[in-house]
Structure 1
Amino acid sequence: MSDFVLVGSPIEEPPIEDKTARPSMQPGETNPNSPSYLAFLDTHPFVRASVIDKIYGCIVGSALGDTIGLYTEFLPKNACETIYKSRKFSLVEPVTEIHADTHRLRFTTCSWTDDTDQALLILLSYLHHPSKPLTHLPQDFAARLQIWLSHGLLALSRPPAGIGRLVGSVVTSPSYLASPVAAATAAWERSGRNAAPNGSLMRTHPLGVIGVGLSEEETWDVAAAVSRTTHADPRCSVACLIVVGLIRGLLRGEVTREAHIDALVERAYAHFLSNPSLAEAATPEPPIHFSKHELTSHTSAPSLDALSLDSPREMGYVYKALGAGILSLRMCMRARIPSRLPPHTLFEDTMTDLIMHGGDADTNAAVAGALVGAYLGHTSLPPHWREGLVDGPWLEGKVARLCARVGVLEGRADIEEEHDEQADGGKGLLSAAELEARDRAMVMSIMERKKAREEQERKGKGKGFAAWFGN
Structure 2
Amino acid sequence: MNVRREMAEPTILSSDIQHQIRAVLYGQCVGDALGLLTEFLTKKEAKQYFGKLKDCLEFEHKSLVDNPHQNRWNVGDWSDDSDQTILILISLTENKGEVNCKDIARRFLDWMKRGIPELGDYVGMGIGATTDRVIHHGSFLNDPMAAAESVWRESQGKVAPNGAVMRTSALGIHRFHDMDHVTKNAADVAKITHFDPRCQASSVAVSVAIAMMLQKKERHFNKTGGYSIQAIIQDSYDIAVKCIEIEEQKRELLSCMECSDLKQLKLDESGKIGYTFKTLGSGFWALKQTDFRKAITKIVLQGGDTDTNACVAGALLGCKLGIEAIPESWRNKLKHKDWLEQQIQRYFMMVNEADLNAQPVTAS
Q: Same fold judged by TM-score > 0.5?
A: yes
Q: What letter corresponds to residue 334 of structure 2 in structure 1?
A: L
Residue matched to 1:314? 272
Equivalent residue pairs, number: 348
Question: Is residue 190 from structure 1 mapped to residue 186 from structure 2 by the alignment?
Answer: no
Cα offset, 1:7, TM superposition: 3.8
Deviates further, 101-110 or 197-206: 101-110
Q: In structure 1, the residue corresponding to 2:33 is in which secondary structure?
A: helix
Q: Which residue of 2 aligns with 1:38?
A: 10
1:154, distance to aligned residue in structure 2 (A) = 2.9
Aligned partners of 1:360, 1:191: CA distance in 2, in Å?
21
1:86 to 53, 70, 73: 53
**What's 2:230 paired with?**
259
- Residue 67 in 1 paired to residue 33 in 2? yes
1:11: which partner in 2? none
Moved more, 249-258 or 224-233: 249-258
Q: Does 1:371 align with 2:316?
A: yes
For residues 258-289 of structure 1, what are the alpha-carbon distances to aligned partners after superposition, in whole Å with 9 as ceiling and x for unaligned?
2222322332135436xxxxxxxx5xxx5xx8
Partner of 1:203: 167
Q: 1:205 offset after TM fit, Å?
A: 0.5
Of 37, 41, 49, which aligns to 2:15? Answer: 49
Q: CA deviation at 1:38?
A: 1.1
Query: Is the CA contact 1:200–1:230 (under 8 Å) kept in the aligned structure 2?
Result: yes
Instruction: Please name the residue that 1:168 is paired with.
Output: 132
1:297 aligns with 2:269: no
Q: Deviations over 1:312-351 (max 9, x none)?
A: 121100000000000110123xxxxxxxxxxxxx211110
Greater Cα shift, 151-160 or 239-248: 151-160
User: Is residue 315 of structure 2 the alignment partner of residue 362 of structure 1?
Assistant: no
Q: 1:412 to 1:72 in 2, by over 3 A?
A: farther
Task: Structure 1 unaligned segments of length 5 or more: list them.
Answer: 9-35, 42-47, 274-281, 333-345, 415-471
Residues 118 and 98 of structure 1: CA distance in aligned 2, closer, same or farther (over 3 Å)? farther
Using a 3 Å threshold, how does the CA distance of structure 1 residues 227 and 115 change in structure 2: closer, same or farther? same
1:150 corresponds in structure 2 to 113
Alignment of 1:324-363 (within 5 A): 324-332=282-290, 346-363=291-308
CA contact (8 A) 1:54 1:377 kept: yes
User: Match of 1:407?
Assistant: 352
Compared CA separation, residues 306 and 412, structure 1 to 2 (3 A): farther
What is the aligned-residue identity percentage? 30
Instruction: Report the Cα distance in structure 2 between the residues aligned to 1:407 and 1:360, rounded to whole angstroms.
Output: 36
Task: Return the match for 2:188 from 225, 230, 233.
Answer: 225
1:178 Cα deviation from its structure 2 partner: 1.6
Q: 1:240 and 2:203 equivalent? A: yes
> Which has more helix, going by share of residues?
2
Q: TM-score, normalised by structure 2?
A: 0.89
How far is 1:242 from its partner?
0.6
Compared CA separation, residues 301 and 39, structure 1 to 2 (3 A): same
AA partner of residue 140 (structure 1): D
Unpaired runs of 5+ residues, structure 2, are 221-226, 360-364
Q: SS where residue 184 of structure 1 aligns?
A: helix
CA distance in 2, matches of 1:197, 1:39: 36
Q: Does residue 1:97 correspond to 2:63, yes or no?
A: yes
Q: Deviations over 1:148-198 (max 9, x none)?
A: 111112342323111100000110112211211111111111111010000
Change (3 A) 1:252 1:408: farther
